Amino acid sequence: WVLNTDADEFWWPQGAGLGEVLAAIPARYGVVRAAWRNFVPRPDDGRSFSERMTARLRTPAFHHHPLSTHSKSAHRAVPDVRIGRGNHEAFGEGLLPLRGWYPLEILHFPVRSLEHSVRKYVTQFVALERNTEKGIPNHMAEAHKAYRAGGLEQFYEPLVVDDDALARGLEDGSLALDTRLRERLRALGFGNSADPQAAEVRSSNSLLQGAPSDFGRLDVAAAAEFAAESSALEESDFALALGARIEELETRVGRLERGAWKRVGRVVRRGMRR
């Protein structure tokens, strides 16, 4: 299996491990989806992002925004695979997607600080502006507009969730506290050095000695929440399915047209020889 992932994504299987989940995929399917769980930026106090960013967005929507809902694809290894823009889709012989099931979460930290935001977007915009045929992706349009106006700070600041906004979000249900990545990194020896867990010697950690890594299954309430969030992906998944079908039909039509022109050419050449 191949995971087309980015550095700001942490794939989190529901179960004992990634291998267990992928081994359960029926053989006729070659692609399985993982759903983004987006974490919002918090005020930068000098700590690492995993220590600060423990607030997760619970109101997903498929729209053009850095914190938009989306999914990524894990696929079986095939020689003719084609990866869509943004690494969201995989196409190839035998890569039938298993739709409607998201056994993998992706803990996603797309915007982590002002410094990171500037570095991330400026680097991408410089490259994209040189490659004009691709254009600026829709979810970056707002940031690109701010960049061209010299004000990426004005784009970033409204994304930050301070303590007051966090309290309101927890109360109205738009945000949830999710410390899974923080605790896992602490257990591996990263994160808050003042925490006894983070100070453990790495060699003594069972996770680094080949022991099974139990990521845990969601309880009923958390599973229902995840299902509700994942339902926002159905619209985009339907559009992607139609897009793949249209691409397939266009390929077939192209083959038929090329075949028809070849036949016409043969008839013309025979007529000219006469």
pLDDT the model gives residue 163: 96
Q: 135-181 pLDDT, tens per residue?
A: 666 667 777 777 777 777 888 888 899 999 999 999 999 999 999 99
Query: Rounded mean pLDDT of 86-101?
Result: 86
**For residue 17, is pLDDT > 70?**
yes
Q: Where are the domains of the chain?
A: 2-112+161-272
pLDDT at 203: 39
Q: What residues contact 207, with CB distance under 8 A and at least 6 apart?
A: 187, 188, 213
Higher pLDDT, 213 or 241: 241
- 10 Å CB burial of residue 115 (0-12, 13-18, 19+) is exposed
- Kindly state the percentage of the chain with pLDDT values over 90: 32
Confidence of residue 212 (pLDDT cuts 50, 70, 90): very low
Residue pair 37/109 in contact (Cβ under 8 Å)? The answer is no
State which of 3-12, 110-119, 210-219 shows the largest mean pLDDT: 3-12
- pLDDT confidence of 259, banded at 50, 70, 90? low
| Mean pLDDT of the 77-104 span | 87
Is the full-model pTM beyond 0.85?
A: no
pLDDT band at 265 (very low <50, low <70, confident <90, very high): low
Q: How far is CA 38 from CA 57, 85, 166, 225, in A?
A: 6, 19, 15, 14
Which pLDDT value is given to residue 240? 59
> Quick one: which of 48, 55, 43 has its CA closest to 193?
48
pLDDT one-digit tens code per residue, 30-89? 999 999 999 999 999 999 999 999 999 998 776 667 788 888 999 999 999 998 877 788
| Highest-scoring range by mean pLDDT, 40-44, 82-86, 220-224, 250-254 | 40-44
Which residue, 238, 188, 10, is CA-closest to 105? 10
- Choose among 182, 27, 187: nearest CA to 96: 27
Contacts of 222-227 with C-beta under 8 Å, sequence gap 24+, read 225/58, 225/176, 226/35, 226/102, 226/105
Distance separating alpha carbons of residues 151 and 89, to the nearest angstrom: 32
Segment 116-131 shows an average pLDDT of 74
Is pLDDT at 235 greater than 90 in this prediction?
no
The dihedral formed by the CA atoms of 151, 152, 154 and 159, expressed in degrees to the nearest 10: 170
Q: Chain-wide mean pLDDT for the chain? A: 79
- Residue 154 is predicted with a pLDDT of 81
Q: What's the whole-number mean pLDDT along residues 225-241?
A: 71
Quick one: average pLDDT of 247-270?
Answer: 67
